[in-house]
Amino acid sequence: MIILLSLGTILLAVSGLAYDGPVSASFRQSVAQAADQALEEWLAKIPNGQEAGYGFSGRAEFKRAAAGAPIRMATISPGSVAADSGPDSAPLELLDVWRVPVLIDGRYVALLTVDCAGGSCKVVEIGAARLARELDDFMRQGIVAGPGEQAFLLRIFQLHSDLLLVSANPGKPGAGRIYPLQSARMFLRLGTRATIDWRRLIEILDSQFKAMAEHPRGVRP
């Protein structure tokens, strides 16, 4: 059984606001600390014989596991896309949910989900081995947040799509770098492109959201 974060759980953690400023280093440390303290407990919850589904070769690896740097989740809703008025507007909605990589010898093998709703952080799930491997690939390609930058896992729930946003000013996401992950390349029909411009992403989302509204059963042309 892979322990996954449900759409409903994440949507309950939506801040309800557009970008609300940078997160303090102390709060980010609280997220990391919550993940580190709960790591052993959540590794123990992985059923015997199912370690591979969580990214591990076996339970012996658990002793070498460590929590990595937290990545905050964000989203873009149909309403914010419809209200978007230009490349410098901010339809980015931050979530009170973070993904923290589980590292084995420096490799991302799984992700812990940390819920910080209400300002108190706790681990609620473990899993997403495939996503962890993909993020690890980005790290090994040198696609990381530099000095003054932040990385966000941008999830478009309605379109089952993930992208990585790296920006020094998430209040103006158009100034950042956006890397589509495999799910976004597939569901947003981006092909093999390695990056996408914010304006182009908004155009694609607007088209897809309108198609979904016209075909409520999920049938898209």
Q: What is the pLDDT along the chain (221 residues), one digit of tens a residue?
A: 333 333 333 333 333 334 445 567 889 999 999 999 999 999 999 999 999 999 999 999 999 999 999 999 999 988 888 776 665 565 788 999 999 999 999 999 999 999 999 889 999 999 999 999 999 999 888 887 778 888 999 999 999 999 999 988 777 777 889 999 999 999 999 999 899 999 899 999 999 999 988 876 644 44
- Residue range(s) defining the domain that contains residue 39: 7-214
Q: Which residue blocks in the chain are alpha helix, DSSP H? A: 7-11, 25-44, 78-83, 129-140, 182-187, 198-214
Tell me, yes or no, whether 27 lies in a domain. yes
Evaluate whether residue 24 is within a structural domain. yes
**Domain presence at residue 1:** no
CB distance 100 to 71 below 8 Å: yes
Q: Which strand (E) or helix (H) includes residue 166?
A: strand 161-167
The whole-angstrom separation of Cα 127 and Cα 46 is: 9
Residue 114, number of CB atoms within 10 A of its CB: 26
Residue 81 in domain: yes
**Residue 155 domain flag:** yes
Q: Whole-prediction pTM value?
A: 0.84
Residue 220 lies in a domain: no
Residue 219 lies in a domain: no
Which DSSP string corresponds to 103-121? EETTEEEEEEEEE-GGG--
* CATH number, domain with residue 78: 3.10.500
Indicate if the alpha-carbon torsion angle 76, 135, 41, 23 is positive or negative. Answer: negative
Does residue 83 lie in a domain region? yes
Helix (H, G, I), strand (E, B) or coil at 167: strand
DSSP annotation of 147 reads: T
Structurally, how many domains does the chain consist of? 1
Cα 43 vs. chain centroid, distance in angstroms?
21
